[in-house]
Structure 1
Amino acid sequence: MAMINNALSGLLASQTALNTMSQNVANVNVPGYSRQEVQLSARQAGFGVMGGNGVQVTGLRRVTDDFLAVQLWRAESDAGYRSQVSAYLEQMETVLDSQDSSLLPGLNNFFAALHSAAETPQSIAPRQQIIASAGALAQRFNHLAAQLDAQQRRVLDQADAVNSQANSLLAQVAELNDQIKKVGAKGGNTGILEDSRDETLRRLSELVEIRTSRQQDGTVNVSLSLGQPLVLGNQAARIERQDQDISVHFGNQVFPLDGGTGGSLGGLVLHLHQQLQPAREELNRIAADLATRINDQLALGEDLDGQPGRPLFSLEAGDAAGSIRVTEGLRAEELALSGTSAAGPGNNDNLRALLALEDDSYEAFRTLVGELAITSAQWQADAAAARNIRAEAQARRDGVSGVNLDEEAMNMMTYTQHYQANAKVISTADQLFNTLLNMM
């Protein structure tokens, strides 16, 4: 009977191992799945000279490394953060430096029109060309301002989408915590639930940089990198936006967020406050400065009727780039291209003073575009490096926890032989027992 009992325990252990391996093979393509291994131990032998009591399955081990998982989550956060910023910077660079929307062609045409009027400043046609080119330049300012404003709306809309996704994932982590706690308290296998939680945390880490703390009951508390709570047991926070401010709401507590949040959300916040809005403000400053210098110089001259010059540009305070226009109703005759009438009618003294403003008019915009190009290139390089680091972290995690089909096939052959050997022992024991019966 001992032989039969021993062999039967071996059959059951082999069957459990084969079932576990089939589970691994079936889930080879499931994201975040961690392979499982059967843990076996010999049963305690009884008294006397008995050979033993067979083998027993002591548990199923989920093959995972928390350190590698945390490394992957941080790599995901960094990649999401840098990729988000680099993508929007690339869009900004394209808009500001495009031949169709850049200020440089507009400035070129405007000052070319001024140069063309230098020989015959009293002629109407060159003056009309100045007004037309000034209007085209103003439209380029308007277009750039509209493009940056549109990008701001896209950033805020994407932030709302990220918040919604993050809130859904936080609720899933809290629910999985609750299930793991209940199943674990009953001695059940929580491996699949823990895999689901780890995969949910990985997806969450793409959106915000997280820190985790494992509790004795199997649950995991989650917080942001600066300590703001996201999940405590089965309770989840919510991330919400009010205008341009984003904050975490946990119970009655509110924690404001900034660019240090990490992940895609942190990248959006950083780009909005540290790159997009400053660029928009600088564009306003360039428009206001250009309009002011041109208008101030025109005010020092006289038009064809000997009257003081009218402003060429008009704009609204606070949105200079978006509102700059050619002064409504301005006629070509009213351009104050002449100096004082004492210099003779139709002189171009003030026009030459306007042309002296040319070099300074280019410098500010070129500086803005140049700094943006340098910043964008650096973020592009950092994003590419972060994606490589993420791929390496994923490979290291999969090297430990992932399913290797060749390894599983080898193990299946081993346990199949183990199963067959135990079946042979049972068959042998049965033959011995029958022989003994026949002898009686």
Structure 2
Amino acid sequence: MTIINNALSGALAAQLALSASSHNIANLQTKGYTRQSALLMAVGPDASGRSAGNGVQVTSLLRFSDNYKTQAMWRANSEQGLYSQSQPYLTQLESVMGDSSASLSAGIDDFFKAINAVAGDPGSTPLRQQVLTAASLMGERFNGLNNVFNSQLTSVRQQRGALVDSANSDIAAIATLNKQIIETQAGGVSASSLIDARDQAIDELSSKMALEVSNNPDGSRDVSLKSGQALVIGSMSGKLKAAATADSPQAFSITFANSTFVLDPSKMGGQLGGLTQFEQTTLLPLQEDVADLAEEIATRVNSQLATGFTGEPHPTLPGTPWAPGKPLFVYPLGDGASMLKTVAGFKAEDLAFSSDGTPGDTGNLQALAALKTKPITLTNIGAVLLSDADTQLLGKLAVDSKLNKAALKTTDTVRLQSINDWQSTSGVNEDEEAVKLVEFQRMYQANMQVISIANSLFDATLAMMG
């Protein structure tokens, strides 16, 4: 009977091992699936001293998981998310600001070209009208670019809100799965599929923010932000909120166990941190500098025009110069959408190109043309020539975009390598499982052959005793 019991235990163990391999193969393409294998252990002999042993038993289903590799994959996901979300916005800004048909540099150049063209015939109405047209078109370039800024700002904040909602779903799912894993393992049932689902939820969450994950003896995982605020503790979960304030439109808060904590948006990491970083360090400063440029142009041109004369005669004092220059540009506009516009009703004859009111004098016209080479100050760039301001802004944007692309490429590589490392331990290898199928099939067949031989011996023994 010992022979039969040994062979039966071997056949049952082979069946369980075959079942584990078949389950692995069935989940060959399942994202996040961790392969399993039956852990076999010999059953020792009895106390008689004449027993080789009592067969084999499956002590557990082994789950091939390396916590270090899993944590590395999550960290790489956070780094990748930090740079991936801002690149489309940077690329769009580069494209718009670098387009000759929409760039500020082209608009500024055309405006000053129109001013220089009047110098040959300061009284020419068509040439003066070209100055007004160029001024209006330059203003439209500023306003069009400002609309792009505002559109991106709205998109970033809407995207951030959507990411917060998605993150809250992940956080709640992790807490729920923690509870199910604890209950399942307490009942002695394998929780491998639940653990896989939880790790997938953590991976999804890690793309949105930088995380710290720790393991507990009961099988649950605690999840917190890099800055220390808890997101999940056992089966308890917090709720994230995009809590904009007057001082910090990008701020976040987390409510956990009836307590609310304000989070530093610069330390969030992941996609939320990347969007916040883009908004704070690129988009808003760039919009501010373009607004500064518009203000400098409006202020300097209006101030210069105010010192000149149109050359029209005084209505009551013949021969006396009159009609001092009027403002050409309006800034600020106060509507949030526009940066620079020409004054409504401004006419070609209102351009004060004369410095003393004498017909044909171009003193003030020359002073206006010279403004292009004057230094101005932008908040985030510093002192630059008016003619070089847009080039400087575009150059800084190009550098930011290039650095982000390089960082994104690096993090893409690190993420791919971390996934491959995880796969080498936890992923299903089709060839390996095929070999296991053959091995355990042979094991099963051999043990069944042992049972057949044992039955033959048993029958022979009965015949001898009969």
**Could you state the TM-score of these two structures normalised by the residue count of structure 2?**
0.92
Taking structure 1 as reference, are residues 275 and 142 closer, same or farther at Cα in structure 2, changes over 3 Å only? same
For residues 100-111 of structure 1, what are the structure 2 equivalents within 5 Å?
A: 100-111=101-112
- Any idea what the Cα deviations from partners look like across 1:194-216, whole Å, max 9, x if unmatched? 11111111111111111101111
1:331 corresponds to which of 340, 347, 371: 347
CA RMSD of aligned residues (A): 1.4
> Is 1:312–1:326's contact at 8 Å kept on the other side of the alignment?
yes
8 Å CA contact retained: 1:220, 1:233: yes
**Equivalent in the alignment of 1:216:** 217
Distance 1:367 1:241 in 2: 34
Q: Residue 45 of structure 1 aligns with which residue?
A: 45
Question: Where does residue 377 of structure 1 map in the other structure?
Answer: 402
Moved over 6 A (4+): 317-321
Could you tell me which of 256, 270, 280 is aligned with 1:273?
Answer: 280
For 2:266 and 2:6, locate their aligned partners in 1 and report how far apart those are by CA, in whole Å. 63
Residues 106-137 of structure 1, C-alpha deviations (whole Å, 9 max, x = no match): 11211111111001111211111111110000
In structure 2, how many angstroms separate the alpha carbons of the residues matched to 1:314 and 1:50?
A: 102
Where does residue 424 of structure 1 map in the other structure? 449
**1:316 partner amino acid:** P
Q: Are the equivalent residues in 2 in contact too, given 1:178–1:219 (CA < 8 A)?
A: yes
Partners in 2 of 1:20 and 1:281 — Cα distance?
A: 61
Tell me the secondary structure at the aligned position of residue 46 of structure 2.
Answer: coil
Distance (Å, rounded) in 2 between the aligned partners of 1:115 and 1:241: 52
- In terms of mean alpha carbon deviation, does 230-239 or 144-153 score higher? 230-239
Q: Does residue 316 of structure 1 match 2:329?
A: no
Q: Residue 254 of structure 1 aligns with which residue? A: 261
User: Which segments of 5 or more consecutive residues in structure 2 lack a partner in the other structure?
Assistant: 313-321, 374-384
AA of the residue aligned to 1:249: T
Q: Name the structure 2 match of 1:303.
A: 310
Partner in structure 2 of residue 124 of structure 1 = 125
CA distance in 2, matches of 1:124, 1:391: 66
Match of 1:404 in 2: 429
Contact 2:39 2:60 in 1 (8 A): yes
Rate the CA distance shift 1:10–1:435 in 2: closer, same or farther, 3 A.
Answer: same
**Contact conserved, 1:304 with 1:334, CA < 8 A, in 2?**
no
User: How many Å separate the matches in 1 of 2:44 and 2:369?
Assistant: 101
SS at match of 1:310: coil
1:50, distance to aligned residue in structure 2 (A): 1.8
Deviation at 1:192, TM superposition (A): 1.2
What residue in structure 2 maps to residue 388 of structure 1?
413
Structure 1 unaligned runs (5+)? Answer: none
- Distance, in Å, in 2 between the alignment partners of 1:347 and 1:181 is 90
CA contact (8 A) 1:80 1:207 kept: yes
Q: Does 1:354 align with 2:373?
A: no
Contact 2:213 2:224 in 1 (8 A): yes
Conserved? CA contact 2:333–2:340, under 8 Å: no
Rounded to whole Å, the distance in 2 between the matches of 1:74 and 1:112 is 54
- More helix per residue: 1
Displacement of 1:98 in angstroms is 1.6
Q: Secondary structure of 1:230's match?
A: strand
Per-residue Cα deviation, 1:180-230 (whole angstroms, up to 9, x for no partner): 111111222111111111111111111111110111111111011111111
Distance in 1 between residues matched to 2:353 and 2:106, nearest whole Å: 23
TM-fit CA distance, 1:410: 0.8
Q: Is the 8 A contact 1:288 1:320 kept in 2?
A: no
Alignment deviations for residues 377-419 of structure 1 (CA, whole Å, 9 cap, x no partner): 1111110111011001100000111000101111111111110
Identity %: 38
Q: Separation in 1 of the partners of 2:3 and 2:237?
A: 55
